[in-house]
Amino acid sequence: MSFERPDFRHPKLAKNSAGYSRKDYEGAISTLCAGCGHDSTTSALIQACFELSIEPHRVAKMSGIGCSSKTPAYFLSRSHGFNSVHGRMPSVATGANMANRDLLYIGISGDGDTASIGMGQFAHALRRNLNLNYICMNNGCYGLTKGQDSATADKGSAGKKGKPNPYTSIDLCELAIELGASYVARGFSGDKTQLVPLIKGAIAHNGLAFIDVISPCVTFNNTSTSTKSYEYVRDHIEATNTFDFVPLQQEILAHYPEGTSQEVVMHDGSIIHLHKADSSKDVTDRMKCVNNLELEKSKGRLLTGLLYVNPEIMETHDIINSTLRPLNSLTEADLCPGNNALQMINASLR
Amino acid sequence: MKPTNIKDPEYFHKVIDCQYACPSHTPVPEYIRLISQGKYDEAFKINWISNVFPGILGRICDRPCEPACRRTRVEETPVAICRLKRVAADFKSDSTDFMPEVPQEKNGRKIALIGGGPASLTVARDLLPLGYTIDLYDDQSKAGGFIRTQVPSFRLPEKVLNQEVDRILNMGVTTHFNHYIDNLQTIIDKGYDAIFVGTGAPRGRDLPNLPGRQEGDASIFIGIEWLASVLYRHVTSTPEKVLVLGGGNTAMDCCRTARRLGGEDVRVIVRSPRADMKASPWEIEDAEEEGIPIIDNHSPIDFVIEDGQLIGMHFQKMTADYDENGKRTLLPADEAPVFMACDQVILAVGQQNAFPFIKPESNIAINKYGLPELDETTYQSSVPNIFFGGDAAFGPKNVITAVAHGHQAAISIDLFCQGKDLHVRPAPWTNLVNQKMGIQDWMYDSQVSTDKRYAVPTVDRVKSLKNRLVEVELGFSKKTGHEEALRCLNCDVQTVFEHSTCIECDACVDICPEFCINFLENGDEEDLRTRLLAPADELSQSLYVSPPLPTGRVMVKDENVCLHCGLCAERCPTSSWEMMQFTYNSAVAGQK
């Protein structure tokens, strides 16, 4: 068994504009089961960060507990990270974000970590629209404890044990739209052509970007009776749209047929181009977005792609009007402005 | 693209770059793996079966395998394949278990071999175990041909040469040494069932029309003849200043020999640019390390004679001009001739074939290049029972090519003597064995070494320049040999893909360090090569394409820089990727 990847990489691979090769975004070799969807999601994350020329040392990876929460070890090994208590990733991410708003926060969680033990934390991070890329690797089961149904397992779906799940499932995307996330998407680990742009859009987005990645558990939940198996997802996948992510200051070269395209300008000036098969599926209207999800669900289809986006919603720092600088850059003079400042405050209250 | 037919033995053979490039198709990765395990006898045996002269070729082979080595595409330098061959020969035990049994009772067929070089000896080695009676004729007193007369002892000690040559002669060759055949008809008339001509390309080219050639004759030598004279001690010293003309390996041997016989100022003068020199890069390097300058782009004008004595040569500086097809023309530069003083000149400007012993009465057709008309597969001449091989067949090449010719000629002779069709050649013996030893565990060492190529230690230069019999290279120690062997990428352990069980989870795509593996819509080869994850512009390297998968896509693997690390197979949940060792043994005479 290999404990590390060979050092060599394809000699003709390009470097990105920050001067990094894709290898600089990799992590340790995965110890997850062979064929785990999480590894593909990890690979999509590496690809997205590489393509966006993100500097690895400007990233913080936050996670909780579970198979998914192990993955920060497998990407961006030169970045900061915090592996927190089960379900508590959003709190730790909030604290870190408050202390240093300049870093890029990637929160990794799973369906157990998010929809069961961490549900309360998840809900409040959404409400506050924390500037966090929240990626939920959703396989519908507790893979680390031998595959019990999780809260996102669809009603009637049966994993390796063969017993259909009797409970209603939680749709994390609907919940996220409901509770105030400003960028909500669903991807599939087996489709990187869709997942990589989704992650890139999330990184460019200012506010809470939630991506529910259907990421099959190859060991416990890849049966023909499961709705989160590779085969089932491929057969039932329905995309809201395909899209290009055009980063800031990059010329738009692609040509889009009229009437089927929608442009969303992100906070940093980059643009998301959506190509829609069905023009009624507006992704900026919250009510329509929830309707779309419910409609496809009633047809037995799984809606993926960018589901909802609103770049105008204020993120936590803007809401609480916190300092624009990371706390570690504040000097004594900033924090204790002196007697004059105090006198001015007092005067304003007289 | 159509799905790749991996049942075709040549598909996986081609993935083993070194073995594919070797004229004899020696199973290189297998013997290197055995060396890394300390199994020198087994490693030697594989070599001996395939290339007949492991000790010799481990020193002087032209190594077509090394430029082909996958490592040159992954990093800078190939595995030291040639020097590892020597490791097997150096450290093998005295056991002779690898020798085939030669039957006491002969099959009644008599074969004559003309010339005792590597091609003839290979024919003898292959045919003796089948019961043939072999007569070998050579004008020298010992067998070995040009390996003996042309390769200086500081590159190949006589002891090693004798050992490998005698091993074959002792299998029961009837030798007729010091026996020059002046007319092949005398052999034909003896009624041999077949005759094999392996007389090499024995004539060194001269520059007869260069002014001063006649007058300076006493100080002007033909390279290969001079080397033979050194071997037989007819020449024991050189004057101080020696010019060697020519850019091939013979020139390198001449200059280094001259350096050892008293030449203080030895220079090699080459007509063409250095990049076009025929000599192997490592031989040029070795010469330069002994303080011999290589002066390129100098074409000889004349020999300068004073008082009947050679005192130097004039050269015209040349410039190379390449047209758009890469064809070179050498043009004289607009400069005055250069004078170089010397006491002696050695001409190593090429070799030619010569068949003065083939007379018209034998009816052997000779083509316009002065070479015999041969069938390119069977090496059969216009006279059905006469075969050619080695340099005598298609002009001067190298030892390993001569060995490959010998194998093929032996097959032809064996088929001929049985009255069979010479074009129905025996197929190579192949095998594909799974390397799985448990979950994610392999029978081969899948870790990829990042070590740089190890240098071979050499003897002290002062000592080696004093005595031409002292071998310069000491060979790898067991330890260094082991480290160098681990640099091999195990290209014979193939990544075999089974499309019917693949669930398209992308695990192999994600783990592959070289981005070899892709799942995408099919297309023709040109189109596919533009759409793969990593540039696939090495057109000589195959694309491995699967039949369509459930999503309609196909798996496409670019074989180019695959490290054979086995990670795709380790990360595959359904064992759709398997690591399997592919063995390819070229056919030998007598194989069914």
Mean pLDDT of B224-251: 95
What are the domain boundaries of chain A? 22-320
- Interface A–B counts its CB contacts (< 8 A) at 104
Task: Give the model's pLDDT for residue A82.
Answer: 97
CA distance B561 to chain A (A): 7
Q: Are residues B215 and B188 in the same domain?
A: no
pLDDT of residue B89: 97
What homologous superfamily is domain A22-320 in, according to CATH?
Thiamin diphosphate (ThDP)-binding fold, Pyr/PP domains (3.40.50.970)
Together in a domain, B314 and B374: no
- Strand B577-585 relative to strand B436-438, pairing: unpaired
User: Is the per-residue pLDDT at A257 higher than 70?
Assistant: no
Does A310 reach chain B within 8 Å, measured CB to CB? no
**Total domains in the fold of chain B:** 2
Q: Tens of pLDDT along A197-226? A: 999 999 999 999 999 999 999 999 999 999
Q: Do B339 and B378 fall into the same domain? A: no
A193 SS3 class: helix
* Pairwise CA distance, residues B212 & B572, whole Å: 74
Closest-approach residue (CA) in chain B for A42 = B510
Q: What interface predicted TM-score (ipTM) does this complex get?
A: 0.89
Which of B351, B368, B402 is where one domain is finished?
Answer: B351
The pLDDT value given to residue A280 = 60
Clarify whether residues B381 and B337 are in a common domain.
no
From the CA of B224, how many Å to the nearest CA of chain A?
43
| Best CA proximity match to B482, nearest among B91, B7, B199, B117 | B91
Chain A positions touching B563 (Cβ under 8 A) are 6, 8
Give the pLDDT of residue A279.
Answer: 56
The more confident residue out of B297 and A256 is: B297
Q: State residue A281's pLDDT score.
A: 66
* CATH code at position B237: 3.50.50.60
Per-residue model confidence as pLDDT tens digits over A265-282:
777 777 777 666 565 667
User: Among residues B417, B442, B462, which one ends one of the domains?
Assistant: B417
Nearest Cα residue to B171 out of B98, B96, B102: B102
pLDDT given for residue B105 in this prediction:
94
Which of A34, A231, A234 is closest, CB to CB, to B507? A34
CB contact under 8 A, B534 and A12: yes
Facing B513 at nearest CB: one of A1, A6, A30 = A6
Domain assignment present for residue B58? The answer is: no
Show residues of chain B in contact with A9, CB under 8 Å: 513-515
Question: How does the average pLDDT of chain B come out, rounded?
Answer: 95
Taking 80 as the threshold, does the pLDDT of residue A241 lie above it?
no
- B391 and B339 belong to one structural domain: no
Q: Closest residue of B to A234, CA-based? A: B551
> How many angstroms separate the CA atoms of A31 and A73, rounded?
10
Q: To the nearest whole angstrom, how far is the Cα of B455 from the nearest Cα of chain A?
A: 22
Q: Which residues of A touch B573 (CB under 8 A)?
A: 33-35, 218-219
The torsion angles phi and psi of B449, rounded to 5 degrees, stand at: -75, 140
Dihedral sign computed on CA atoms, order A122, A124, A127, A130: negative
State how far residue B555 is from chain A, nearest Cα, in angstroms: 14
**pLDDT per residue as tens digits for the range B16-39:** 999 999 999 999 999 999 999 999
pLDDT value, residue A260: 60
Report the pLDDT value the prediction gives residue B508, as an integer from 0 to 100.
96
Q: What one-letter code names the amino acid at A184?
A: V
Please report whether residue B372 resides in a domain.
yes
Question: Does the structure show a pLDDT above 90 at B206?
Answer: yes
Residue A326 C-alpha, separation from nearest chain B C-alpha, in angstroms:
35
Please indicate, yes or no, whether residues B398 and B338 belong to a single structural domain of this protein. Answer: no
- B68-83 pLDDT tens trace: 999 999 999 999 999 9
Shared-domain flag, residues B345 and B208: yes
**What per-residue confidence (pLDDT) applies to A248?**
61
Contact across the interface for A35 and B573, Cβ inside 8 Å: yes
Say yes or no: B215 and B308 in one domain. yes
**C-alpha–C-alpha distance, residues B508 and B505, integer Å:** 8
Choose the final residue of a domain: B381, B400, B417.
B417
Residues B161 and B228 placed together within one structural domain of the fold: no
pLDDT of residue B511 exceeding 80, the answer is yes
pLDDT digits (tens, 9 = 90+) for B159-177: 999 999 999 999 999 999 9
Which residues does residue A184 pair with via DSSP β-bridges, in sequence order?
A210, A308
Query: Alpha-carbon Rg of chain B, whole angstroms?
Result: 26
3-state secondary structure of A156: coil
Q: Does residue A330 have a pLDDT over 70?
A: yes
Q: In what order do the strands lie in the sheet with A302-309?
A: A80-83, A59-63, A104-110, A133-138, A209-214, A183-188, A302-309, A237-239
- Quick check: A117 and A86 in contact, CB under 8 A? yes
> Can you tell me the mean pLDDT for A337-345?
93
What pLDDT was estimated at residue A52?
A: 93
pLDDT the model gives residue A312: 87
Residue in chain A nearest B439 by alpha carbon: A1
Mean pLDDT of A11-35: 93
The C-alpha atoms of residue A161 and residue B42 are separated, in whole angstroms, by 51
Pair B238, B211 in one domain: yes
In the predicted structure, residue A251 carries a pLDDT above the cut 60: no
Q: What is the pLDDT of residue A276?
A: 60
Mean pLDDT calculated for residue range B277-285: 93
Residues on chain B touching A50 (C-beta within 8 angstroms): none
> What sign does the dihedral A322-A325-A329-A332 (CA atoms) show?
negative
Residue B571 lies in a domain: no
Please report where in the chains the tokens 């991996």 appear, as a residue.
B6
Three-state secondary-structure class, residue B178: coil
Domain of B136? 110-202+353-417
Q: Among A4, A12, A224, which would you mutate to test the B interface (most chain B Cβ atoms within 10 Å of its Cβ)?
A: A12
Strand locations in chain A (E)? 59-63, 80-83, 104-110, 133-138, 141-142, 148-149, 183-188, 209-214, 237-239, 242-246, 261-265, 271-275, 302-309
Spatial contact of A137 and A67, defined as CB atoms under 8 Å apart: yes
Q: Looking at residue A130, what is its pLDDT?
A: 97
Mark whether B360 and B406 lie in a shared domain: yes
The answer to whether residue B299 sits within a structural domain is yes
Record: contact B511-A11, CB cut-off 8 A? no
Please tell me the distance from the alpha carbon of residue B490 to that of residue B583, in angstroms, as a whole number: 12
Give percent above pLDDT 70 in chain B: 100
Please tell me which residue of chain A has the smallest CA distance to B537: A12
Token reading at A146: 């031998």
pLDDT of residue A292: 86
State residue A272's pLDDT score: 75
CB burial of residue B39 (10 Å; 0-12, 13-18, 19+): middle
CB contact under 8 A, A7 and B448: yes
Q: What is the pLDDT of residues B416-474, one digit of tens each?
A: 999 999 999 999 999 999 999 887 789 999 999 999 999 999 999 999 999 999 999 99
> Which one has a higher pLDDT value, B322 or B169?
B169
To probe the interface with B, which of A3, A7, A8 has the most B CB atoms within 10 Å? A8
List, for residues A310-325, the tens digit of each pLDDT value.
988 899 999 999 999 9
Q: Is residue B581 in some structural domain? A: no
CB contact under 8 A, B506 and A190: yes
Question: Does residue B224 surpass a pLDDT of 60?
Answer: yes
Alpha carbons A86 and A71: distance in angstroms, whole number: 14
Q: Please give the DSSP secondary-structure letter assigned to residue B372.
A: B
CB B40 within 8 A of CB B87: yes
The rounded percent of chain A whose pLDDT value lies above 70 is: 91
Shared-domain flag, residues B239 and B302: yes
* pLDDT given at position B495: 97
Mean pLDDT of B216-239: 94
